[in-house]
Structure 1
Amino acid sequence: MPQLSGDELNKMGFAGLGENVLISDRASFYNCKAITIGDNVRIDDFCVLSAGVGGINIGSFVHIAVGTTLIGAGKITLSDFSNLSSRVSIYSSSDDYSGVTMTNPMVPNKYTGVLHADVFLGKHVIVGSGSVILPGLTLEEGVAVGALSLVRCDCKAFGIYAGNPARRMKERKRNLLKLEELFWADFKAEAAVDVPQK
């Protein structure tokens, strides 16, 4: 996967850009001044991140896999250690499908009824391939969403959700919280070794 260089990333004008950010040169970004990216983030080929007024905030140690889209006027937050598999779609805006209003962005706003609402993914959330997350939802810490799921309601912490519409199937193990503690201890120890001695 060919990746953008550090100079190319800096020229894009992100609101914030961390270290060790690996972005494919085949990914597309719109309104970079409203996008913040933390440390140790990878964004793969054919992803589309289109930030609206609310912006997109990506934490650290996050992976956004091939063909994923984050689109809408509301704020989209991906917390630390979250993971979006291929072809996941997160929308913070959606047309009204009821027929009460007209639809699509080529029609003036006064004729449409677009919903704009923030989307929040907590730490350690993982979303399976082909899943769709609708505007206004919160996926709390540790949520796992199975492939090809339609998420229409908030997801409570450490639940495994799947289906159309997605529903809580069972509990997700919390072992990863202990692993996170070990990870940070190792990470800080390695960082200390890398600091030049005076």
Structure 2
Amino acid sequence: MLGFYSEEELKKIGFKHIGVNVKISDKSSIYFPETISIGNNVRIDDFCILTGGTSGINIGSYIHIAAFSAIFGSGGGVTLKDFSCLSSRVTLYSLSDDYSGHSLTNPTVPKEFLGVEKGHILIEKHVVIGTNSTVLPGVTIGEGSAIGAHSLVKESLDPWGIYAGTPVRKIKNRKKEILRLEKELKQ
């Protein structure tokens, strides 16, 4: 299919696991694919960056990652559970430099001069993250939550909430109709 890697090309990339009906743009950048697992029915659009690193990335099934999004699993790893979705320009950082001034920053500096924060990011089932949002290390976004555009998520969020802002705050509860739709889809 034009614009997406073929099934044969996906196998050659060397993913830890790759499911069926996976469409990854041939304009995406993939680093350390041997630490990246991808489920079934996944689409990753143009100009996305996936960096598995030592901790890896686990992508479930029925997931869409829109254009220009980035997932950095190098610090503590990243898990996206089934039916989650990243809108365009969403960034998930499982590793972040310490910007307090107590250490140097950036990847050109030797490790002994760096201060970093790292932690696993867990995106539970049915989570939707709006465009231009950022999720920082160690965050869990509870099942069914929706994150508004241009949001900063620096602390874990409860399930079934609608959150927005910098940093995010809960706006209201989210409906659970999607659970019925998931059951219908799987029948």
SS at match of 1:177: helix
2:114 to 82, 87, 112: 112
Quote the residue 2:34 is aligned against: 33
- Quote the residue 2:137 is aligned against: 135
The gaps in structure 1 that reach 5 residues or longer are 186-198
Counterpart pick for 2:92 among 90, 95, 98:
90
Aligned to 2:62: 61
Cα deviation code 1:155-196 (max 9, x no counterpart): 1000001000001110000111111111111xxxxxxxxxxx
Equivalent residue letter for 2:22 = V
Task: Identify the residue that residue 177 of structure 2 maps to in structure 1.
Answer: 175
Q: Is the 8 A contact 1:145 1:161 kept in 2?
A: yes
Deviations 1:79-121 (A, max 9, x none): 0000000000000000001001111111011001111210000
SS of the residue 1:120 aligns to: strand
Take 2:46 and 2:75, find their aligned partners in 1: how far apart are those partners? 23
1:42-93: CA deviation from partner (whole Å, max 9, x where unpaired): 0000000011211000000000000000013211000000000000000000
How big is the alpha-carbon RMSD for the aligned residues of Structure 1 and Structure 2? 0.7
Structure 2 residue identity aligned to 1:146: G
Contact (CA 8 Å) 1:52, 1:74: kept in 2 or not? no
Equivalent residue for 1:17?
18
Range with bigger deviation, 129-138 or 108-117: 108-117
Task: Name 2:127's counterpart in structure 1.
Answer: 125
Q: Is the 8 A contact 1:95 1:104 kept in 2?
A: yes
SS in 2 for 1:90: strand
The share of aligned pairs that are identical, in percent, is: 50
SS at match of 2:23: strand
Please name the residue that 1:165 is paired with. 167
Q: For 1:86 and 1:93, how far apart are their aligned partners in 2?
A: 20
Task: State the partner residue of 2:45.
Answer: 44
- For residues 17-42 of structure 1, give each alpha carbon's deviation from its aligned partner in whole angstroms, at most 9, with x where no partner exists: 00000010000100000000000000
Unaligned 5+ segments in structure 2 are none
Point out the structure with max Rg over C-alpha. Answer: 1
Partner of 1:153: 155
1:22 counterpart letter in structure 2? K
Question: What whole-Å deviation, never above 9, does each CA across 1:118-148 have from its counterpart, x for those lacking one?
Answer: 0000000000000000000000110100000
Alpha-carbon separation, structure 1, partners of 2:33 and 2:182: 30
Paired with 2:130 and 2:8, the residues of 1 have a C-alpha distance of 32
Tell me whether 1:8 sits opposite 2:15 in the alignment.
no
TM-score normalised to the size of structure 1?
A: 0.92
Question: In structure 2, how many angstroms separate the alpha carbons of the residues matched to 1:99 and 1:73?
Answer: 20
- The count of residues paired between Structure 1 and Structure 2 equals 185
TM-score, scaled relative to structure 2: 0.97
